Chains A and B, each alone.
Chain A
Amino acid sequence: MSHPQRTGVIREYDMHSPSVRAGYGVILFLCGIMVVIALFPLVWVILAGFKDLKEFVSSTSILPRSFDIQTFVTTWNQLGIAKNYLNSFISVAGSVVCALIFNGLLGYGLGILKPKGYGVVKKLVMLSLLMPTTISIVPLFMNIQKLGLGNSFLPLWLSYGANAMYVILFVQFFESLPSSIIEASRIDGCSQLQIFFRIVLPLSKPICSVVAIFAINAAWSDFLLPYLVLRGGELQTVMVRLFVFSTEQTVNADAMMRSVVFSMIPPIILFFIFQKQLTENSVSVGIKG
């Protein structure tokens, strides 16, 4: 990925020209504006969280009157968000495990084992990439109901084991592994599953971390299928709660903004931990995908 030479259209000697230097100033200025536009709404919603209802609906000031963290604590306790957080964590954990195991094994089959007839499956998976799941959410929900899996995390977990994009990411990565290593261990008498767990997986940390980050974020943010499966029950996740608030309008506007902040905290933490993977690795992955 990294070039020893500087990339970019503007070369070193261009910077001697005053007009290019001025143009570079404009570029930096525009990038600065981009940063403000990207971050301002986020800063604003946190500031708004400090306002009480009266202040939120009537104040024409961006800054709140006071920065009392108690407003957040009160809403957290009143709405019982802790329980939704716990549910979300359980939902996310199972989803990531399923995303790695099932898509990984399918990717192993399509990318390395390649048994007779695998091409058809690979084409089907490619096609599914273009037909995202929302389109068939109605029959999927009916199937889940028929199996009596409503109000349970199980269908949500397993749904992450059937993600065409993750399968293709795995296939592409596995195809890039040197086949000599796999061939050698096959000659040594390793079974196919042994090769997967002893040879392939340890070599696949980069792709596993990318898929895991994607899956964590997707599972945390997901609310349509979770809403249908978990609504009304005790297992509602943070996003399902937020969706219910927004459709039924049972929550005041100020508490709503604080709930939005609550729902954003884990993804933001995840982002700052894995920034480098996200802005570098996942991109080089995305360009192939």
Chain B
Amino acid sequence: MDGKSTRARRRGKTGENIKSWLIMLPGLLLMTFFVWEPLFESIRMSLYKTRNVELVRYIGLDNFISVMSKDDFLQALTNTFTYTFWSLLIGFGLPILLALLIGETRRGKGFFRTAAYLPNMLPGLAVIILWSAFFSGEKSGVLNILLGRLGVPPQSYLTNYRLVIPIIIVIATWKGAGATALIYMAGMSGINAELYEAAAIDGATVWQRVVHILLPAIRKLAGTLLILQIISVFQIMYEPMVLTKGGPDNASLSLMQLMWQYAFGGSMNYGKASAVAVIVTVILLLMTAVYSYFNRKESDWD
């Protein structure tokens, strides 16, 4: 080996490395400014007394204590878990069912897929406002009109503390289920059709093929989508904010909404808002850790 050329090559390699990092630099700076730094900043801010955008003084865990000792925190925490519960009950199985149904159609599959995906393209805010008219308690509310035809008297849905969270989840499911179904469809189309053929020859009914071939094949995908669903529903915020303002009587108040209220609801208490954000982050990290613990054998990254 010629020492000189190795050194030259190494210097060339270092130069390449530096150039590569320079190419990534703009993206890295933006990730730092918009994602990473704010995450650390919210941890730091949660430990400070704040006035407007200034950090006044370090106060340890006082923000956390003050936030958690209020009644609305416990209410928001329970509500957020209630959201998650209803979201799994209503929104987890439905996309699998839709994917199964659409996947079996022999004609018009493209049309069904398009119809299923369309709600997902609509702006979330517009969807919420649209559905607020739908569930309106007036006699001109769409649901009241429809149920009125069946002889059901007009009802006020969004002021019923027992219905309000399920209704918000129904709306979120209406928007998202079709798009999730298409992901399942892609997973199901990867199943080798010969498996079904072979099972059929062995006398397996259609239903048995679904239970013993199709469902096991999408189990891992379902696990991934499950955790993504939990993470996303845990951050539910603008839906109750716009639809019910958290009401009736905080019955639909979510944790992230509580954070928004502390920060932008008039009091501009960024320190307390950050404390709520940190609590949500910790819960999400715990859930992700539990998920990756159970999923550790099937990591497809690195």
Contact = CB atoms under 8 A, between A and B. Distances in A.
B26 A161 contact: yes
A287 B102 CA distance: 17
B301 A138 contact: no
Contacts of B221: 287
Contact of A140 (B19, B34, B238): B34
Interface string A141-166: 11101100000000000110110100
Given A136-B277, A284-B186, A20 B206 contact: yes
Given A10-B104, A41-B174, A143-B33, A134 B186 contact: no
A247 B245 CA distance: 9
Secondary structure dominating the interface of A: helix
B114 interface: yes
Interface stretch (A73-81, A104-112, A203-211): A104-112
A1 interface: yes
B84 to A, nearest CB: 16
Interface in A23-56: 23-24, 27-28, 30-31, 34-35, 37-39, 41-42, 44-45, 48, 56
A279 B125 contact: no
Contact of B36 (A59, A62, A128, A134): A128
B157 interface: no
B121 A62 contact: no
Contacts of B128: 246
A139 B48 CA distance: 13
Given A106-B31, A196-B23, A253 B270 contact: no
B105 interface: yes
B295 interface: no
Interface in B102-138: 102-106, 108, 110-119, 121-126, 128-131, 133-134, 138
Contact of B281 (A103, A131, A161): A131
A142 B270 contact: yes
A268 B121 contact: yes
Contact of A109 (B23, B108, B129, B209): B23
Contacts of B53: 142, 145-146
Given A115-B16, A161-B26, A136 B38 contact: yes
Contacts of A13: 200
Contacts of A9: 100, 103-104, 196, 206, 209-210, 213-214
B101 A239 contact: no
A89 interface: no
B186 A192 contact: no
Interface in A175-230: 191-193, 196, 217, 220-221, 223-224, 228
B104 A113 contact: no
Interface in B252-302: 256, 259, 263-264, 270, 273-274, 277, 280-281, 284, 288, 301-302
A271 B123 CA distance: 12
Given A56-B140, A143-B33, A283 B24 contact: no
Contacts of B235: 132, 134-135
Given A143-B37, A271-B118, A257 B23 contact: no
Contacts of B98: 34
22 contacts: A5-B193, A7-B103, A8-B103, A9-B206, A11-B197, A31-B112, A35-B111, A41-B131, A101-B26, A113-B16, A115-B24, A130-B284, A136-B42, A167-B27, A193-B23, A223-B123, A223-B125, A243-B242, A247-B242, A267-B121, A268-B121, A278-B117
> Which are the 3 A-B pairs with shortest beta-carbon distances?
A106-B27, A136-B38, A109-B24
Given A113-B20, A260-B130, 6 more contacts: A10-B104, A20-B206, A27-B105, A223-B238, A257-B129, A257-B130
